[in-house]
Structure 1
């Protein structure tokens, strides 16, 4: 059994980046950039009006003759004299020697001339060439997450394809003779299977939207057979249940029989002690506890950073916050505790229902509070570390 810090280090060391691929920008949402991008153009590529109004050469005059119109998409070589103006619209080309745009609300206009009622400062309401980004300037550094705004920015620069890290293909294998699919009649002695849908939802929070769920009965032959095919097809395999030391826990033996290298088994923590982490070639395997709260806890602590590392994220772990404890905590276990909690701007409260089987309080928790294995007690008002999960 190893410490939490040791387990985290082993996971990080063994979860290397996925290969890269070239994909269309419009399909890149949620991917991580695998290259540094440089702008192929100035943005704006020319001086643009920031307003609907009139472009002119700034002076002490207030009356100007309107000699032409500049709409968005137009381009002309108009040269203004000091007493002349051009009717202009947002995004339109500003004539070369015009230095100011007055918004139309501040103008009294007739067919051929304008009177500026409120003179703007010189250089107002003009977007200069390259104001947003200059040609060959860095658009995004490698390892940037592609968001909707990033896609829009790349498109406005004319970039249509980028190189990103592939998203890992993830499979979930659920074990347990006692499990029944939600929606079906629940026989005596059975429980509804919830871990697969819970883990699928958790994966979606980090951009893994497609997963395949497999189910297997609690026997060694069936588990070995199921894992043989899964290990050949997927980059990350999550297994729910069957990893403890009971008579019907066959997962570890089935993994070893399929050539999975054991990197660690069992962690000095509560909940979530019985967890196996291993690898076969480039496939990572997490055999998670069957108890739902334990399974989800270990997802956040170990699976979450491993998959983010594979996807190319720079920051792979949940962020850490510090808050004041509302109630004292006793830890006589000698284990690291991960406690379901609710925090606000200043304080954190431990929730009831900390048992590894209970999801009811997990469902309303917004954090996991960490009690280190060498801390036997924490006092009310003491500063503690927690991991936000919302």
Structure 2
């Protein structure tokens, strides 16, 4: 049995990045850049008006003759004189001689001239060429997550394809004779299976939108055969249940018989102690506890960073936060505790219902409060460390 910190380090050392692929920008949401992106143009590519109004050469005068119009998409070749202005609209080309745009609300106008009631400072309302970014400047660094805004910015620069890390293919294998799909008849001795949908949802929060779910009965032959097929097809395999030491827990033996290299088994923590981590070729295997709260805890602590690492994220761990404890905590287990909790701007409260089988409090928690294995007590009002969760 190893420490939490050792488990995290082993997983990080074995979760290498996925290969790189070239994809269309409009399909890149949720991917991570594999290389720097440079701007092929200045943005904006010309001086633009930031307002609907009038462009002119700034002076002490307030009256100007209107000699033309510049709409968005036009390219005006008008040569402005010091006493002239042109009607202009937001995003339109500002003539070379003009240095200022006055917003239309500050102007009294007729067909041929304007009188500026409120004179703006020189250079007002003119977006300089390259204001957002200059040609050949870095748009995004490698490791940047592609968001809707990033897609919009790339498109505005005329960029249509980018190099990203492939997303790993993830499978979830559910074990347990007692499990029934939600919506089916629930007979005595059976429970509804929830871990697969829970893990699928958790994966979606970090950008893995498609997950293949398999189910297997609690026997060695079936488990071994299912894993043999799954290990060939996927980059990450999550197994729910069957990893403890009961008479019907066959997962570890089935993994070893499929030549999965054991990197560690069991972590000195509560909940989530009976977890197996291993690899076969480039495929990572996480055999998670069957109890739902244990499974989700270990997802946040171990699985999520590994998936992010394979996806190419530059930061794979969520920043921890520190808050003041509302009530004392005792730890007489000698294990690291991960306690479901809620925090606000200043304080944190440990929730009732910390059982590894209970998801009701997990559903309202916004963090896991971390009590290290060598800490026996946290006093009320003491500062403690939290891992925010989605």
Aligned to 2:63: 63
Q: What does residue range 1-390 of structure 1 map to in structure 2 within 5 Å?
A: 1-390=1-390
What TM-score, normalized to structure 1? 0.99
Consecutive unaligned residues in structure 2, runs of 5 or more: none
In 2: Cα distance, 1:115 partner to 1:374 partner: 77
Are 1:4 and 1:268, in contact at CA under 8 Å, matched by a contact in 2?
yes
In 1: Cα distance, 2:303 partner to 2:202 partner: 10
Shift of 1:354: 0.6
The superposition leaves residues 173-193 of structure 1 with CA deviations (integer Å, 9 ceiling, x where unpaired) of 000000000011100001110
The superposition leaves residues 342-373 of structure 1 with CA deviations (integer Å, 9 ceiling, x where unpaired) of 11111111111111111111111111000000
What TM-score, normalized to structure 2? 0.99
How many pairs are equivalent?
390
Shift of 1:318: 2.4
In 1: Cα distance, 2:329 partner to 2:60 partner: 73
Secondary structure of residue in 1 paired with 2:262 = strand
Identify which range, 31-40 or 312-321, moves more after superposition: 312-321
In 2: Cα distance, 1:76 partner to 1:108 partner: 23
Shift of 1:96: 0.6
**Runs of 4+ with deviation above 4 angstroms:** none
Are 1:300 and 1:318, in contact at CA under 8 Å, matched by a contact in 2?
no
The superposition leaves residues 79-103 of structure 1 with CA deviations (integer Å, 9 ceiling, x where unpaired) of 1111111111111111111111111
In 2: Cα distance, 1:73 partner to 1:33 partner: 32
In 1: Cα distance, 2:10 partner to 2:33 partner: 25
Secondary structure of residue in 1 paired with 2:105 = helix
Secondary structure of residue in 2 paired with 1:172 = strand
Q: Give the CA RMSD over aligned residues.
A: 0.6
Secondary structure of residue in 2 paired with 1:92 = coil
Secondary structure of residue in 2 paired with 1:277 = strand
Are 1:175 and 1:240, in contact at CA under 8 Å, matched by a contact in 2?
yes
Shift of 1:323: 0.7
Shift of 1:26: 0.6
Consecutive unaligned residues in structure 1, runs of 5 or more: none
